[in-house]
């Protein structure tokens, strides 16, 4: 969850020039959309300055080809989208159904997703279908103290348009027969 306060979040429709703090003592703030127009991202919901560098197809292709264990490719599309094909070596952490996944403790994370929680010394490379969920997830990861993050803003659509290799999940052992 973005807001770690037990108090309910109240959203006002009043347009203001100052940020709204989500919870007392939190460094996370919401900015009115009109204040974000000078930004490259019009859908930023987290305080400016926390966003990761944006990468293009060539950089993503290089990361995929190197298969460096210090980079973790994170597909934030829903599970059915991931199973229909994804960028090679990606893990699936659905943004919509599991927004606070990186905030789980390691044991709960492994029970939920079936693989180890990415360590904070790795570089997480986020993508989705068109870049919106990736930007949100990447910024949210920053609130969980993941400092090494990249955003493939072109995401899966860009990958397909450049004829990038597509990987499919391995069938479960009981499905092979």
Burial 48-65 (b: 16+ CB within 10 A, else e): eebbbebbeeeebbebbe
Contact criterion met (CB below 8 Å) for 74 and 126: yes
Q: How, if at all, do strands 29-30 and 20-21 pair? A: antiparallel
128 assigned to active site: yes
State how far the Cα of 79 lies from the Cα of 147, in Å rounded to an integer: 25
Q: Which of 3, 36, 95, 128 is catalytic?
A: 128
Q: Mind telling me the catalytic residues?
A: 128
């Amino acid at each position: 969850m973005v807001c770690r306060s037990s108090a309910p979040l109240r959203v006002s429709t009043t347009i203001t020039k100052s940020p709204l703090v989500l919870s007392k003592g939190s460094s996370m703030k919401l900015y009115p959309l009109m204040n974000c127009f000078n930004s490259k991202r019009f859908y930023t919901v987290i305080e400016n300055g926390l966003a990761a560098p944006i990468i293009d197809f060539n950089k993503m292709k290089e990361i995929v080809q190197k298969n460096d264990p210090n980079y973790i490719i994170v597909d934030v599309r829903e599970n059915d989208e991931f199973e229909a094909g994804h960028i090679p070596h990606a893990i699936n952490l659905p943004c919509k159904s599991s927004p606070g996944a990186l905030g789980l403790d390691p044991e709960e994370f492994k029970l939920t997703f079936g693989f180890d929680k990415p360590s904070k010394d790795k570089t997480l490379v986020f993508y989705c279908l068109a870049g919106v969920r990736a930007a949100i997830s990447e910024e949210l990861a920053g609130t969980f103290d993941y400092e090494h993050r990249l955003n493939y803003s072109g995401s899966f659509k860009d990958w397909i348009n450049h004829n990038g290799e597509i990987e499919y999940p391995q069938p479960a052992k009981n499905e092979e027969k």
